[in-house]
Amino acid sequence: RIEAFIAAKNQPRWAQAAAFVLPRCCRSSETRVSSPSTSLQRRYSCTPVAAMADDDSKTVEGAPQVENTCAGCGLPAKMACPHCVKIKASEPQDFSTDYGVAYYCAQDCFKKHWKTHKAQHKPWAAAVEIATPLPGGNERMPSCFDNYQGWTGSLRPWARPAVDDTRARLLRLPASVQKPDYAGSGQPYSEILDKRNRTAKVYTPEQIQGIRKACKIGREVLDAAGRAVKVGVTTAEIDRVTYEATVSRGAYPSPLNYYNFPCAVCTSVNEVICHGIPDLRPLRDGDVVNVDVSVFYQGYHGDLNETFVVGQCSPQNVGLVETAFRCLEAGAALIRPGTMYRDIGSNIERVAKKRGCQVVKTYCGHGIGELFHTAPNVPHYSKNKAVGVMKAGHIFTIEPMINLGGWRDRTWPDDWTAVTADGSKSAQFEHTFLVTEDGYEILTMRDGEPRMAWDLTKQQR
């Protein structure tokens, strides 16, 4: 012990302390090495030195007593990250995740890989938070709905995750992810300055390539979010999956903090038309849910959405979802240079009415690229007053919102969620389109699917 003291004499003070406190710390969860001088201790309740058990104590208290592989170098390991153990212990019953306790072979190996390893803690903790019932039940509504009586259907908002909120997600964005101008302030100043613009931009080949990359990432993220949709899964979990899938691809989830929107994705269930805020309500058998994904990558946005039928849906609900798809298909059929933007709505409304549905008139498609929303406006109903003629190089979305009942809508007190005025169900599909010299290209299409084709198996969950 004296020799160890002499050897550690030139080490930092926290390292000197760890050399003697560590064995006792590892054997008792009540004792911790405290070192306010390190950023690791400020962000987490452990240090990379005192966080691991030594060979004498075998493992941190609470960790499984088994041989494991070192997460850093692949050698046999018995030392568990205590933060991982803490999160693991907080998991509710029957919880399933891709995350797990990380083991290391030695203190030095743990310290060497701490910077990359700690990145899994917050996403894992967020997943656990979403899966853990709140005191008093998840059915508790946000305070903005106190005394609200304007419900049009049976859907009600549930509580939202409190820890993994907008601020927490913004703070844990990697520095390499480029952010839009509203990420910090909640105000898209560049869009506000562009609000009076009525002329669609003709993008250069280089800009088109940038938007194509963003749209490709958006497609991958929507596919990941769509795989998460199933009976019993909360829309908050779909939101978490969307955030992690977007950030892991080096992109920013465009809805996050856009005019202070609190989440990374819009999830619109049943009578919600659009802009639904994810919450802790589990999806139920027979639900219809739209997942609207937008990403910002290297200066450009991509936007798309799909509607899924959850479990065993009625023929009426399946017919609604197919009608929304057919309406988007009908609108896309007119895309070519020389088409007036106002003509798209007539094609869409004709298909919707033929199938006994109505088109929402409050919301429309939009130009997209360097700005999330810009010219042109693309209404989805007939006899509209949209301005402009399509030219090669224009990029915009078509996203018809189709209701089983009337077309009118209302907005909930959260100032985002739009619902049908009569409580009927609603469905929507969206793609980002590029006008080419001889027609169009769907920038948000799946690989190997150059044209739209209805397939219920892709929307059934």
Query: Which pLDDT score, from 0 to 100, does residue 56 have?
Result: 36
Question: Among the ranges 48-57, 105-114, 215-224, which has the highest mean pLDDT value?
Answer: 215-224
pLDDT of residue 407: 97
Asked if residue 49 has pLDDT above 60, the reply is: no
The two tokens of residue 430 are 């969206």
pTM: 0.79
Query: pLDDT at position 136, please?
Result: 64
The pLDDT value given to residue 28: 36
Q: Which residues contact 405 (CB under 8 A, 6 or more apart)?
A: 358, 420, 422, 423, 424
> Which pLDDT does position 10 carry in this prediction?
52
Q: What's the pLDDT tens digit per position in 89-141? A: 888 877 777 788 888 888 888 888 887 787 778 787 878 877 777 666 677 89
pLDDT at residue 60 greater than cutoff 70: no
- pLDDT at 282 (0 to 100): 96
Partner residues linked to 134 by β-bridges: none
Cα gap 259→280, rounded to integer Å: 22
pLDDT at 165: 81
Confidence band, pLDDT 50/70/90 cuts, at residue 44: very low
pLDDT at residue 175, as a whole number:
92
Per the model's pLDDT, the better-predicted residue between 27 and 246 turns out to be 246
pLDDT higher at 138 or 2 = 138
Would you state the pLDDT for residue 73? 86
The answer to which of 12-21, 139-148, 361-370 has the lowest mean pLDDT is 12-21
Closest C-alpha to 234, from 274, 283, 268: 283
In this predicted structure, the answer to whether residue 359 has a pLDDT above a threshold of 60 is: yes
Closest CA to 61 of 98, 23, 97, 35: 23
Which residue type, as a one-letter code, is found at position 298? Q
Above pLDDT 70, what percent of the chain? 85
Top pLDDT among 306 and 112 is at 306
pLDDT at 397 over 70: yes
pLDDT > 60? residue 22:
no
Residue type, position 155, single letter: L
Q: Which of 132-136, 231-235, 400-404 has the lowest mean pLDDT?
A: 132-136
Q: Indicate whether 46 pLDDT > 50.
A: no
Q: Give the mean pLDDT of 368-394.
A: 97
3 confidence band (pLDDT: 50, 70, 90): low
Lowest mean pLDDT among 56-65, 157-166, 412-421: 56-65
